[in-house]
């Protein structure tokens, strides 16, 4: 794989402007499509959006403008895309959380000449005001309404694919999976794509190992900026934010059990400890477990942690991490939250089976399950990804880095420079370094450069003590 250095020439200018999320100029038409959604006809007239309420677009617009202020690297990319038109005539199918930050990304892609079909990567995380604001933009088609059922969720993925994508952006691999399993006739037209999250990369690797994956996908998840800033700083802050908004709990003095000490879980543990909680960690990987011990946390199996915890947060990418047998051991009032991509980490069905009474919505995004012992367990966001449902997802400054690497990956894929075989490919280190350099510049932070003597010293094996 090439290092992408040539592609990065457009990064030579610094002083990134504020990101504008708007695409090319023009008007999008609005029509009532019947049913419980609102149709918004885009530039091609034939493939409208399916959103909840077009009247919400004003509020969405204001939130997108606010997010754009914290996304200077995407702002710079937008200018580059507007002048070089790397996506001209290209159709891009995206399956992402429909948030203000995603809207800024979409604005960069349309500024670069792309047509974007956006579906939600989680039925509960869609922000309907953002969907409405985006759907009113030319070249953008949004197929997302909050709270849709599974059938509609997949129907929206199909609608996104109806745009016959040249490129795909996925978050969890549902779009790529649907494309291969049910829309294989579109595969020859797809030049490649990128995947945002670890769960999606795991699924893609399994597809590649089976020889099923038909095009190259760049694993944005594996980039250093993504793992350190998005999974680490961003997810941990927004997970705690979701927990706070849903419960208003005081974490100081509480026992917080974090399942999974990976890039998300380790940062969540650190944040919870920083707020005064006693943090326990459960793991299945001995190296990660050791790392947690060295970090000052108590490590133990979930069956032993279950009776101790006041708050449980799962971040593993696996299923049934909190199972029925654990739920039965928990204290009265224990709070259950999931930060992992899919709603399989807490066995919600077992929780429902154990409950003699369910009090939904005792607070926004909090349901109370009363067990026959009288103990009450509080499930947040229905066991789905808590930071996106009970809070607003990652802060814009973090998504600026994550999405910037993805835009560059897509530009690289269409530039003809990449020459990647079908399969999962790591993000070139050069892109990470450049995005970090630009972000530092936007912060007004300067760092030292290696001197020629230092460079020579570091590259030579001859000089010792
Ligand atoms: N909420 C968000 O905004 C957000 C952001 C990034 C990633 N994610 C998702 O969070 C999940 C974790 O991501 P990550 O990047 O931290 O992954 P990771 O691979 O770095 O870490 C996962 C950890 O969980 C451990 N684990 C697996 N099964 C376990 C089990 N049964 N019990 C305890 N530990 C177990 C693994 O050993 C590993 O250390 C994924 O589903 C990912 O897609 C969510």
What are the tens digits of pLDDT across the range 156-207? Answer: 999 999 999 999 999 999 999 999 999 999 999 999 999 998 889 999 999 9
Cα–Cα distance between 39 and 102 in angstroms, integer? Answer: 20
Confidence of residue 228 (pLDDT cuts 50, 70, 90): confident
Establish whether residue 264 lines the binding site of ligand 1, counting it when its CB lies within 6 angstroms of any ligand atom: yes
Look at 22 and 374; give whichever has higher pLDDT.
374
Establish whether residue 385 lines the binding site of ligand 1, counting it when its CB lies within 6 angstroms of any ligand atom: yes
**Cα(421) to centroid of ligand 1, in Å?**
28
Q: E-assigned strands of 163-238? A: 167-170, 192-195, 216-219
Mean pLDDT for 137-158 is: 96
Asked whether the predicted pLDDT for residue 148 surpasses 60, the reply is yes
Instruction: Decide if 316 contacts 292 (C-beta within 8 A).
Output: no
Mean pLDDT for 362-382 is: 97
Work out which ligand 1 atom sits closest to the CA atom of 393.
3
Tokens 């809207």 correspond to 103
Q: Of the ranges 181-185, 287-291, 439-443, which one carries the lowest mean pLDDT score?
A: 439-443
pLDDT of residue 25: 40
Q: What is the Cβ-side half-sphere exposure of residue 399, based on CA atoms within 13 angstroms? A: 25
Confidence of residue 225 (pLDDT cuts 50, 70, 90): confident
Establish whether residue 231 lines the binding site of ligand 1, counting it when its CB lies within 6 angstroms of any ligand atom: yes
pLDDT of residue 306: 98
Cβ contacts of residue 355 below 8 Å, gap of 6+? 369, 370, 371
Establish whether residue 122 lines the binding site of ligand 1, counting it when its CB lies within 6 angstroms of any ligand atom: no
Work out which ligand 1 atom sits closest to the CA atom of 197.
43
Q: Of the ranges 23-37, 236-250, 361-375, which one carries the lowest mean pLDDT score?
A: 23-37
Strand partners of residue 192 = 167
The protein residue with its alpha carbon nearest to ligand 1, atom 18, reads 262
pLDDT of residue 36: 45
Cα–Cα distance between 413 and 157 in angstroms, integer? Answer: 22
Q: What is the DSSP letter of 218?
A: E
pLDDT of residue 47: 57
Distances 384 to 231, 328, 342, 371, 394 between C-alpha atoms, Å:
17, 21, 6, 21, 15
Mean pLDDT for 317-327 is: 97
pLDDT of residue 224: 80
Q: Which two tokens stand for residue 356?
A: 């003699």
Work out which ligand 1 atom sits closest to the CA atom of 341.
41
Asked whether the predicted pLDDT for residue 17 surpasses 60, the reply is no
Work out which ligand 1 atom sits closest to the CA atom of 264.
16
Cα–Cα distance between 269 and 281 in angstroms, integer? Answer: 8
Query: CB 27: neighbour CB atoms within 10 A?
Result: 9
| pTM, 2 dp | 0.80
Q: Which of 116-130, 226-240, 364-378, 393-407 has the highest mean pLDDT?
A: 364-378
Note the pLDDT tens digit of each residue in 32-61.
333 444 454 443 434 589 999 999 999 999
Q: For the residues of 9-58, what is the DSSP string, one character each?
A: GGG---SPPPPP---SS---EEE--STTSEEEE-TTSSS-EEES-GGGHH
- Mean pLDDT score of the chain: 89
First to last CA, the chain: 36
Tokens 């891009």 correspond to 92
Q: Which two tokens stand for residue 291?
A: 């790392």
Strand partners of residue 218 = 194, 425
Establish whether residue 341 lines the binding site of ligand 1, counting it when its CB lies within 6 angstroms of any ligand atom: yes
Establish whether residue 72 lines the binding site of ligand 1, counting it when its CB lies within 6 angstroms of any ligand atom: no
Tokens 């953002």 correspond to 130
Asked whether the predicted pLDDT for residue 353 surpasses 70, the reply is yes
pLDDT of residue 105: 98
For the chain, how many helices (H) and strands (E)? 18, 18
Cβ-in-10-Å burial (0-12, 13-18, 19+) of 276 comes to exposed
Cα–Cα distance between 446 and 462 in angstroms, integer? Answer: 31
**Cα(58) to centroid of ligand 1, in Å?**
36
Establish whether residue 234 lines the binding site of ligand 1, counting it when its CB lies within 6 angstroms of any ligand atom: no
**Cα(416) to centroid of ligand 1, in Å?**
34
Asked whether the predicted pLDDT for residue 425 surpasses 70, the reply is yes
pLDDT of residue 170: 97
Establish whether residue 285 lines the binding site of ligand 1, counting it when its CB lies within 6 angstroms of any ligand atom: yes
């Amino acid at each position: 794989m090439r290092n992408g250095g040539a592609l990065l020439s457009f990064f030579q200018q610094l002083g990134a402007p504020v990101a504008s999320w708007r695409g090319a100029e023009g008007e999008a038409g609005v029509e009532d499509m019947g049913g419980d959604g609102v149709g918004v006809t885009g530039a091609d007239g034939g493939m409208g959006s399916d959103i909840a309420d077009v009247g919400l677009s004003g509020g969405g617009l204001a939130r997108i403008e606010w997010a754009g202020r914290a996304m200077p690297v995407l702002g710079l990319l937008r200018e580059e895309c507007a002048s070089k038109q790397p996506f001209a005539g290209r159709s891009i199918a995206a399956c992402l959380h429909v948030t203000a930050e995603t809207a800024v990304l979409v604005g960069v892609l349309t500024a670069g000449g792309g047509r974007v079909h956006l579906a939600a990567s989680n039925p509960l995380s869609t922000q309907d005001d953002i969907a409405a604001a985006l759907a009113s933009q030319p070249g953008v088609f949004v197929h997302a309404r909050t709270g849709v059922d599974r059938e509609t969720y997949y129907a929206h993925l199909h609608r996104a694919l109806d745009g016959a994508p040249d490129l795909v952006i996925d978050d969890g691999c549902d779009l790529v999976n649907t494309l291969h399993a049910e829309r294989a006739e579109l595969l020859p037209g797809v030049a490649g794509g990128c995947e945002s999250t670890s769960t999606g990369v795991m699924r893609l690797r399994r597809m590649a190992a089976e020889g099923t994956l038909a095009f190259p996908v760049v694993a944005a998840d594996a980039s250093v900026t993504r793992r350190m800033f998005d999974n680490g700083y961003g997810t941990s802050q927004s997970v705690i934010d979701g927990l706070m908004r849903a419960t208003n709990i005081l974490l100081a003095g509480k026992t917080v059990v974090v399942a999974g000490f990976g890039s998300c879980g380790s940062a969540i543990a650190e944040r919870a400890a920083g707020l005064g909680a006693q943090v326990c960690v459960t793991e299945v990987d001995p190296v990660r477990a050791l790392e947690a011990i060295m970090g000052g946390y108590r490590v133990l199996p979930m069956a032993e942690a279950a009776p101790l915890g006041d708050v449980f947060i799962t971040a593993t990418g696996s299923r049934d991490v909190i199972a029925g047998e654990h739920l039965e051991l928990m204290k009265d009032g224990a709070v259950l939250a999931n930060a992992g991509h899919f709603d399989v980490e807490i066995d919600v069905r077992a929780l429902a089976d154990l409950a003699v009474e369910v009090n939904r919505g005792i607070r926004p995004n909090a349901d109370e399950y009363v067990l026959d012992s009288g103990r009450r367990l509080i499930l947040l966001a229905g066991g789905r990804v808590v930071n996106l449902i009970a809070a607003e997802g990652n802060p814009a400054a973090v998504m600026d880095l994550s999405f910037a690497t993805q835009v560059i990956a897509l530009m690289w894929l269409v530039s003809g420079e990449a020459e990647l075989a079908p399969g999962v490919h790591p993000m070139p280190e050069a892109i990470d370094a450049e995005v970090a350099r630009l972000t530092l510049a936007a912060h007004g932070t300067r760092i030292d450069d290696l001197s020629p003597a230092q460079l020579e010293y570091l590259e030579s094996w001859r000089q010792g003590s």
